[in-house]
A and B are shown apart, each in its own frame.
Chain A
């Protein structure tokens, strides 16, 4: 609160006059107002307001009233002058609540009317207000999810290309061994290339074979081809081989590429003295050398076993077990363990087969 003395000092500073002048002015102001008001005359000060005496209703008590001037009101409310009364729109929630209330009232009225008319419980159940069940919003695909789908597709394509490059495009890479069924395989008689290849190997110098026998072969592993197979008939008539229904298709996973695939052996290579081919399969730990020693008396003749089965074997050192293998006719390849020339020729041929392919 500012007292009269403080106001005089402030007035002197504000009006840039002496404090004496300010004090004299304030004193004169108050005296004039009080004198005039006591006389019952209203005093109006421009920019401040009007002082007047108001009589009470009883007529005994009198009080001094002040009516503020409009200019003083504006000056006091200057900080809020830029605000104006603003009309606010009624919120929609209020309208909905009102409408829901009205609907509830109408439903209640209907319900009461019907319940009064009839005591049917079904109607009362039907008229019960159904509570709105929140419906699940349909899921919208997010852009992130679509982006990840595209990335997954691209990665899958890259993986396919890599697999094709590793296992499909390069024929030199080892291919996984698959089981070849025991069904007889139809042979073609157009495998004269093998004979030429065998004949070529005769002139190769002798090289020591490094094949070893791992274990002895049980005798029951040697099989003879069944008599009702298609092989004898086709080979006797010298008819080109055609895949029969019972025969299996060439094992693409085991055989090399078509351009490098050796030709199938001719019937003359396979038919033994009894007129039927003989078949054998490797068991655990067996190799072609063991079969050759057991069947022909010397392990060096393994190369001929590989020759007649080369059309479906890719590597002589990696022959899958339980695969039926044809045994070549000894007379066709001049296989004789007692003949050193035959042994030497077979050894050279085997060494040629074991050379690493360039």
Chain B
């Protein structure tokens, strides 16, 4: 299912305009990104929870080349399902 097909189906279910659906979908993605930056989990009832976890910076040494590298911090985004399958 592609993005256009998804928007068309959401439009049919919600009864909203296609352009409004596209705008709301784009806004939903941006909101999830902002909340993830602040590491605030977002829960969708019946589907699951989007959780953002921050990993601090770390130093890793290559055992073969003995090159030591400092990696910056990063935030990983994962999804915890609540869906009953």
Contact = CB atoms under 8 A, between A and B. Distances in A.
**Which secondary structure dominates where chain B touches chain A?**
mixed
Counting chain B residues whose Cβ lies within 8 A of the other chain, the interface size class is 35 or more
Interface residues of A, number: 59
Given A32-B6, A64-B81, A88-B69, A15 B42 contact: no
Nearest to A53: B85
A128 interface: no
B37 A24 contact: no
A31 B48 CA distance: 13
Contacts of A28: 10-11, 13-14, 16
Interface string B14-31: 111000110111111111
A85 B58 CA distance: 10
B44 A76 contact: no
B32 A24 contact: no
A14 interface: yes
B21 to A, nearest CB: 6
Interface in B18-77: 20-21, 23-33, 35-37, 40-49, 52, 57, 59, 66-75, 77
Contacts of B40: 1-2
B83 A34 contact: yes
Interface stretch (A35-43, A200-208, A265-273, A311-319): A35-43
Contacts of B70: 85-88
A157 interface: no
B72 A84 contact: yes
A25 B85 contact: no
Contacts of B11: 28
B24 A78 contact: no
Interface string A246-262: 00000000000000000
A73 interface: yes
A61 to B, nearest CB: 8
CB-based closest 3 A-B pairs: A83-B72, A66-B79, A28-B14
